[in-house]
């Protein structure tokens, strides 16, 4: 018989992302106030919350870009901030800003990323992803000359360079047109089938709900809701979000 462990969790594949009592203070402000979160391989978690709820802070900690004040987080089998190149290779991010070098061309940006990741057959992969995101003709253009949507497509191409175990997306739909949005969703579905765990933070309830297996709401640094997508409807979730997710008075 399958029995839960001492903390009530059922056995299963090790989580790809796991945080325990994760806390982040910025000066005197608690941006995260004790986050316990698990995301399984092949699962997509959509994370919602008003401005300042702590979504970006959580994603930046998981990506190893910000140190937590207290608590633990493991991502793709590594304690955050301690996995070095192996962790960087396993974790793909699409963050605020584009994380691109403005003075380099589109293909130079990808070549640089491929070199940092130590990828084989880099030239071939770069040509493939540029074609896939519709930027073949812009391969030799300086990033600073690209539109914001084209930059976002290039950031997506960078993410597509290799298979990741964990994908962290911060407001991924920003600046994307319909075609690029479809491309992003195809990429997420293919990554899911490949076993990647994804956390997607967005203000777009419809898009996030549509792509997710699980939904979570952050409010003032606390997870105030977590549930399976197939156990609710978009309308019911919208109502729940306005009840629990809106900013309200900051404590």
Q: How far is the CB of 32 from ligand ATP (least distance, A)?
A: 8
Size of the site for ligand ATP (CB under 6 A): 11
Tell me: does residue 56 bind ligand ATP (CB under 6 A).
yes
SS (H, E, C) the chain: CCCCCCCCCCCCCCCCEEEEEEEEEECCEEEEEEEEEEECCCCEEEEECCCCCCHHHHHHHHCCCCCCCEEEEEECCEECCCCHHHHHHHEEEECCCCCCCCCCEHHHHHHHHHHHHCCCCHHHHHHHHHHHCCCHHHCCCEHHHCCHHHHHHHHHHHHCCCCCCEEEEECCCCCCCHHHHHHHHHHHHHHHHCCCEEEEECCCHHHHHHHCCEEEEEECCEEEEEEEHHHCCHHHHHHHHHHHCCCCCCC
Cβ nearer to ligand ATP, comparing 15 with 49: 49
Cβ nearer to ligand ATP, comparing 24 with 158: 24
Tell me: does residue 53 bind ligand ATP (CB under 6 A).
yes
Neighbours of 96 (CB within 10 A): 12
Cβ nearer to ligand ATP, comparing 160 with 215: 215
The only residue of 54, 172, 208, 245 in contact with ligand ATP, by rule CB under 6 A: 54
The only residue of 13, 26, 72, 190 in contact with ligand ATP, by rule CB under 6 A: 26
Cβ nearer to ligand ATP, comparing 105 with 220: 220
Cβ nearer to ligand ATP, comparing 25 with 101: 25
Specify the stretch interacting with ligand ATP by CB under 6 A; choose among 47-55, 135-143, 182-190, 238-246. Answer: 47-55
Tell me: does residue 31 bind ligand ATP (CB under 6 A).
yes
Tell me: does residue 3 bind ligand ATP (CB under 6 A).
no
Q: How far is the CB of 69 from ligand ATP (least distance, A)?
A: 12
- Interacting residue ranges for ligand ATP, rule: CB under 6 A: 26, 29, 31, 49, 51-57
């Amino acid at each position: 018989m399958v029995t839960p462990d001492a903390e009530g969790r059922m056995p299963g594949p090790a989580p790809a992302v796991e945080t325990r009592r994760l806390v982040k203070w910025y000066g005197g402000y608690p941006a995260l106030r004790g986050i316990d979160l698990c995301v399984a391989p092949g699962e997509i978690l959509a994370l919602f919350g008003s401005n300042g709820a702590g979504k970006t802070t959580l994603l930046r900690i998981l990506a190893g870009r910000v140190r937590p004040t207290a608590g633990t987080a493991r991502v793709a089998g590594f304690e955050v901030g301690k996995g070095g190149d192996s962790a960087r290779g396993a974790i793909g991010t699409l963050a605020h800003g584009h994380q691109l070098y403005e003075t380099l061309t589109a293909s130079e940006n990808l070549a640089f990323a491929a070199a940092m990741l130590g990828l084989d057959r880099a030239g071939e992969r770069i040509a493939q992803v540029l074609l896939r995101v519709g930027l073949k003709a812009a391969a030799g253009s300086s990033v600073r000359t690209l539109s914001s949507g084209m930059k976002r497509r290039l950031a997506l191409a960078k993410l597509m360079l290799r298979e990741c175990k964990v994908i962290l997306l911060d407001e991924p739909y920003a600046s994307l047109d319909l075609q690029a949005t479809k491309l992003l969703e195809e990429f997420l579905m293919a990554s899911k089938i490949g076993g990647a765990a994804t956390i997607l933070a967005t203000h777009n309830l419809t898009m996030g709900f549509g792509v997710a297996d699980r939904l979570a709401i952050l409010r003032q640094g606390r997870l105030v809701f977590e549930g399976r997508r197939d156990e609710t409807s978009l309308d019911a979730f919208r109502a729940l979000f306005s009840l629990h997710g809106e900013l309200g008075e900051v404590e």
